[in-house]
Structure formats: C-alpha cells, structure tokens
Chains A and B, each alone.
Chain A
Amino acid sequence: MLTGLSVHELGARFRRKEATPTQAARAYLDRISALDPKVKAYMTVTADRALAQAAAADARFQSGAPLGLLDGIPFGLKDVLCTRGIRTTCSSKILETFVPPYDATVVAKLLAAGAVILGKLNMDEFAMGSSTENSAFFTTRNPWDLARVPGGSSGGAAAAVAADLAAATLGTDTGGSIRQPAAFCGNVGLKPTYGRVSRYGLIAFASSLDQVGPFGKDVRDAALVLQAIAGHDPMDSTSVDVAVPDYAAELEGGVRGLRIGIPAEYFIEGLDPEVEAAVRAAIETLRGRGAETQSVSLPHTEYGLAAYYVIAPAEASSNLARYDGVKYGLRVPGARDLIDMYSRTRGAGFGAEVKRRVMLGTYALSAGYYDAYYGQALKVRTLVQRDFQRAFERVDIIVAPTTPGVAFKMGEREDPLQMYLNDVFTIPVNLAGLPGVSIPAGFTQTGLPIGLQIIGKAFDEATVLRAARAYEAVTAWHERKPELTP
C-alpha cells in the first residue's frame, strides 16, 4: 500500500516509475475518506488542489525532471500555517472563515519542492494545549486507541502520520507541541533550533518560542523535510543566517564515541515506570552502538514550566490582541461601541484555554506584577539556558523521556495545571531555543507508544538526527502500525 510508505520509499517508487504522485494522492484521499471520520485529524481536506498538484508532479516525473526528493509527496499541514486561498482556522472560532492571502514560507518551500498538500490538520486552539481537546471544533483521536488523545497541540499532524493519512506533516512546537504528540502517536517529531526555520506565515502564539518542524514515519523523513524547510528568510528577522548542512548525508554516521548526557532531573517521581524502563533500555541500546553516557544536571528544570507559563501567555496576550473583529475573522454584531465590539467578539471567539492564557499573560504584564512575574520568568529562562550550556560543555546530546506518561484518555485531565505538567520535559528545550526530536522507543503493555527525546546544541540538528537514526536502525518500533478499520 502506497499509504504505508515513508517519504523516501514513496519517492523511490516514483523515480523507479512503479507509482505516480496521482496514485499516491488518490490512495491518501481514499484513506482519509475511509478513516478520518474516526481519527478526525483533518480540519479541511483539499482534494481537488491535491489532485491538480499531483498531476503536475506526474508530468515532471514523465518528462524525467522531478523537482527533488519531495516531488509528488502528499503532506498535511497544521492549521496554524497560512495557506493562500485555503481556509486557515487555528482551530478557533475567531478564524473559522479566514482565508489567508499568502502562503507561509514553509508552505511555499514545500510547494516549490513539488509537495502535494492534502489538507489542514486539527490542533489545540491557537496551539494552546496538549491534547487537541482545546480545538473549537472537535478532538482528534489517538490512532493507537481512539478513546485517547493524540497529544497536542499538533495532535492532528501527529495522528495523520501515525494513521497513514499523510506521508509527512508539518506542525509547530512552542512548549512541546511537536515532540509530545509524536511521543503519544509513535512517530518522529522534530523541533528545530529557534531560528532554523522561518516563522513567516505561522500564526503567532508565543513568538520567542514558536518553531515549525516535521512529523515523519522515520528519522530519514524528518531529515528530508527539515532540509526542505530550513534556512534564513528575509521575511522572518529572527530566522538565522547559518549554513544548512546536508542532513541525509550525515544520517548513517552512527554514535561511536558520541557523548550522551542523561539528566537526573528528568527521571523523577511521577515518571511512568514503563516510560522510564523504555528510555533506560534505549540508552543501553545507544551505549551498545558505541556511545559514551554520563549523567548531567539541569538543576532548573522544575522551574522551566513555571517560567514558561508566564512567558508564553505574556507573549500570547500581546500577539492575540490583533483579533479585534475589524480586518479579518469573527465579529459579533450589535455592539454599543468599539470597545464593546472588541470585548464581545473576543469573548465569543476565543475558547476557555485561550481566554485563560490571555488573562494570565495580561495579568503578568500588568502594572505592579510585571517585575515579580514576567521579569523574574525571563531571568529564570537565563538559568535554564545556562544549565544546558554547562551540560553541552561535556556532552554532544542529551537523552531523556519526551513526556512523563503516555497518551491519556479524552476528558481525563480537567484541571489546567495538571494538563500543563505534561509538558515538563519538553518546555526547557523551547526556553533555551534548542533542537529536540521525539522518536518511538517502545510500547506499554497496553500497546501505547513511548517517546524518546534527544536534545542537541543550537543548530546541531544533524547530530540529533544521526543519534536518532542510530537507535532507529537497530530497533523496529517505528515499523509498528496501529490497527484501524473503517
């Protein structure tokens, strides 16, 4: 089945003329029709466009001039990335009818590489959440157990790859929103270094933390997609002008002599024993391949979460000020005056979690609280960053669990703080701006995926991916598929 193949396997079939992009696009669209009513990964399916893009790719292969390794590959995009002429909702009522007039840079880059866009994927509203339960429209299901959440906020993007509803997808990660759902859905999810990938056209949540990255069925796919989207963009002044290496070329380099740090602070009370056992076994596997391990200390880990829940809401309260019912999006009619129009539009257009964070951020930035909350959080961010700098003086990568537990049941976590605690191992990486990947590292007795997190130095995605591939090469977790029937 074409839908079961990785990006690189599917591309190889196209090049060998054993399949065409149109056949692949049709296979994915058929599978979406059959299974997405159960998984609910897609907000919008763009079948006609996808088939037109696939036909164009067919012609390029027929004339012997494909655009590259992504030509004709069917992708899904988290609905936070602007797509010209295609509704982009952020899974929010306030943007329910919004049709962007331009493509995000990452989308433009994929299209330029010949990618076929199947549609837009569900998420927690404005990327705020860890389960997609905060989507204003519906909750995406975990393909391994439809009663459980896929994680979030890029839950649709993770579930689509796990259920073979796209060959690969793009998500975004502000506090773990790629790595956590990748762990919950059992696939590869990469958050690149802050500045490695352009944020132009990514609808902003917390601008100093947001980053776009790929979900793939294996590590090579993540590397191929990163290759296509990485690089400096004049339209995003925070994207950094550093050379982008050939990620695929370095992938099979192995881990012999690689120094791996194991952070004591990530093996704490509350860590699921099955997750801990899988991660410790993965570390042994890497040692068996010649890596050297040592313990490192990241002493401010427990403060990272608290700092994040000041910084991210503060930035969100400012970024989301633009939703005022004037230029685009929802407007609630019948207002007394302009301020009343703003307040009623935002009150009706935002869901509970978005309101909570806008309130928290506004509070933390307001007179009298600014220094105690926001100022202090920015200083703690420095301490978190220094922890990593010190550790990376002695090691090349850090290996840890992606999440304290596995996918939980829908409706199980009602208290917002309990939900936030889910992100304790992913958030420090965002605060420090580092690259991190989650890869499949086993399953619980009940058959739920477990994620292994590999964290690297800034702009050293190549080493992160190489270590991930070294583990994947001697394990078969990534080959396991959930059983799904229409």
Chain B
Amino acid sequence: MGAPKITLAEVEQVARLARLALTDTEKEKMRRELDGILTYIDKLRALDTEGVPPTSRAVPTTNVMREDELKPSFPREDMLANAPDRAGELFRVPKIIEE
C-alpha cells in the first residue's frame, strides 16, 4: 500500500471549505472512499497533455448578449414562499454582525 492520497486532516479542511458538517464516522468513511476514487483518477496523470487546450464545454459559446430591456421579475411573495425563515419581506438568517 502506498501513502494515502488524502489524510483525515485534509478531509476536515475540505469539509470546512464545502460547508459540510460531517460526523467522525462520516469523516473516516469519506477519507477511505475519496482515497480509492483519487487513486483511480490518478490515471489521468499518465496522459501527456502537453499543448492540449482545455475544454470546459463541448459546444463553445461566448458572450451571449441580449437587449437590455426592462422586464418584470418574479413577484416578491413567490420568491419568499419557500423561505425556511422569514421576517415580513425579508429572509431571516442567524446574526452575522456583532453589536
């Protein structure tokens, strides 16, 4: 067995970046599974891609423009209807600024 592709500390760091709360059991399972997947994905490195341009989408489109016309947007009530917590016409979230 070679060195692990990903450590538990890295799993915790990536979970922080991804805003995912994981239990300790989930973290260890995630480490093991990501290790297997990353080992498989490593086969990409065997390919010589010197001078090969990247393809980010199969059908290239650039700068799709439209007329800057005034159009109605969705009604405010429709947009708030799915809010898990609202205060009148606002989405309510936990406090982010100290008083």
Contacts and interface: CB of A to CB of B under 8 A. Distances in A.
B59 interface: yes
A363 B14 contact: yes
B21 A385 contact: no
B44 interface: yes
A102 B84 CA distance: 19
A363 B7 CA distance: 12
B78 A101 contact: yes
A415 interface: yes
Interface in B55-88: 55-59, 61, 64, 66, 74, 78-79, 81-85
A380 B48 CA distance: 9
A141 B41 CA distance: 31
A204 to B, nearest CB: 13
Given A335-B94, A338-B93, A360-B37, A383 B21 contact: no
Interface in B11-51: 11, 14-15, 17-22, 26, 30, 33-34, 36-38, 40-45, 47, 49
Contact of B41 (A97, A352, A373, A416): A373
A475 interface: no
B74 A102 contact: yes
Nearest to A317: B18
A341 B82 contact: no
B34 A360 contact: yes
Contacts of B78: 101
A432 B58 contact: yes
A328 B83 contact: yes
Nearest to A238: B61
Interface band, chain A: 35 or more
B47 A346 contact: no
Contacts, number: 171
A472 B7 CA distance: 52
Contacts of B66: 234
A300 B44 CA distance: 10
B52 A379 contact: yes
Contacts of A363: 6, 10, 14, 34, 38
Given A237-B64, A356-B30, A358-B18, A307 B79 contact: no
Nearest to A459: B59
Interface of chain A, helix or strand or loop or mixed? helix
B54 to A, nearest CB: 3
Given A240-B59, A309-B41, A359 B34 contact: yes
Nearest to A320: B18
Contacts of B84: 325-326, 328-331
B53 interface: yes
Contacts of A238: 57, 59, 61
Contacts of A99: 81-82
B15 A359 contact: yes
Contacts of B82: 97-99, 101, 327-329
A343 B91 contact: no
Contacts of B38: 360, 363
Contact of A194 (B21, B30, B59): B59
B61 A366 contact: no
A458 interface: yes
B55 A194 contact: no
A355 B44 contact: no
B17 A372 contact: no
Nearest to A325: B84
Nearest to B29: A352
Contact of B53 (A340, A382, A433): A382
A193 interface: yes
A70 interface: no
A424 to B, nearest CB: 12
Contacts of A420: 37
B91 A338 contact: no
A5 interface: no
Contacts of B58: 194, 208, 381, 385, 431-434, 458
A156 B57 CA distance: 28
Interface in A253-272: none
A377 interface: yes
A293 interface: no
Contact of B57 (A194, A331, A373): A194
B33 to A, nearest CB: 6
A417 interface: yes
Contact of B43 (A303, A325, A348, A352): A303
**Top 3 closest pairs, chain A to chain B, by CB:** A433-B58, A347-B21, A378-B54
23 contacts: A98-B82, A101-B81, A237-B61, A238-B59, A309-B37, A325-B84, A326-B93, A327-B82, A327-B83, A331-B85, A336-B94, A346-B18, A355-B26, A358-B18, A359-B18, A359-B30, A363-B6, A363-B10, A377-B44, A379-B47, A381-B58, A417-B33, A458-B59
Given A327-B82, A380-B47, A385-B58, 15 more contacts: A99-B82, A310-B44, A325-B84, A331-B85, A341-B93, A346-B18, A346-B21, A359-B20, A362-B18, A363-B34, A378-B56, A381-B58, A417-B36, A433-B57, A458-B58
